[in-house]
Structure 1
Amino acid sequence: MEHSFSWSTASPPHGQAGWHLVLAGLPATDTRRLQTLMRGYGHRVSIAQGLAEVRAQLTEAPVDVLLLGETGAPTLLDAMTLSASGRAAPACICLIEEDDACARITFGNWRYDSGQRRLCVPGGPEVELSPAESRLLLTFLDHPGAVLSRDALMSVAHGQGFDAYERSIDLLVSRLRQKLRDDARQPRCIRTVRGVGYLFEGM
């Protein structure tokens, strides 16, 4: 996918030198267009191919902006950890397709891909949610801090007119808690509101 670029504010503050930008993981057409555009504003532009080159760029010279495509996203963590070594971390911008942005949600330490129904935490394995678990999680994410009744959650998870005992939503919440590694006795994400329903606090 190609992106449209029009940065009228792409100049550094008056009196300051141009920025150093590193481009990584972008389509070739985007790379060429950005390189021409940003050099026209007087900025230094470096191109990195692969994780090793990105790391080299970040450690060899100060970098002001790290502009990443989908395949460059894993380098975000490396960029941020540079600040611990005494060098300011660059601003990180990741360009992804709009549909992908809508499908991917980050909350707490978790990242959820609703299109694939896959839940993951950095450094951990991916966990697949069932369709009902996915609808339940998305409902919680849409209403953080709000108390949601069991009836409302059951309608979302199973559809209107679902003929089941009220306890079925409790079992569904229990399964989602397990996948979120959330302890019902000391919840960090989903809290039980006795006699009413549940409240999501995992943002």
Structure 2
Amino acid sequence: SFVIGNDVLNGAHPIWAEDENGTKIPLNIYGSDLHINGKSVQGQIDSNKSNIKNLGEGVAGSTALTAALSALPQTSKESKLSCGVGTGAYSSRYAVGFGCASKVNKRVDINAGGSYVFGGSKSYGGGTLDSGVVKAGFVFKLGELNKPTQISMKDKKVMATKIGTLTDKNEKLQNKVSTLMARLERLEKIASRDIKSKDLALIKN
């Protein structure tokens, strides 16, 4: 049975259900919808469940977007302009990003890019988590700059000449070693024949 309490608790009458023994049991709304202030309780529960699910998917998509952005180039080192493509994945949400970094001068670098998550944006009731994001950054180098060591074309030619000379010398040394080894083998053969001749002479005597 449905019971409405006579006492007022916290400004309201408590309600509950009882069985035939007067024991409190769960209150089951069957065959109709329970409304509070004109709003369906079950509808609100279903809406909250859907919003929570969409929010979770949106957070996963945001994580994938961030991962894709993190894979993009931040600074350009060897060239004045560098571009790249990045990908990100998290909890079955996948994103792809594209961005570029440019060296404005010796002390300033800029980078910009964006990423897009597949599956579209997700609405969670009070707002929407979009499917795309963009970013821009600036790098300012302070203090003394360390100049990279670069080899000039003249130095490269000098080094190439030295390497060629060393290669020629190495080949000549190898040829000399081969010649000396051949002579050594011949001397060993001659010495071996002399020893055998002496041994035969001793046997005959």
Could you state the TM-score of these two structures normalised by the residue count of structure 1? 0.21
Answer 1 or 2: which has greater strand percent.
Answer: 2
Could you state the TM-score of these two structures normalised by the residue count of structure 2? 0.21
Structure with bigger gyration radius = 2
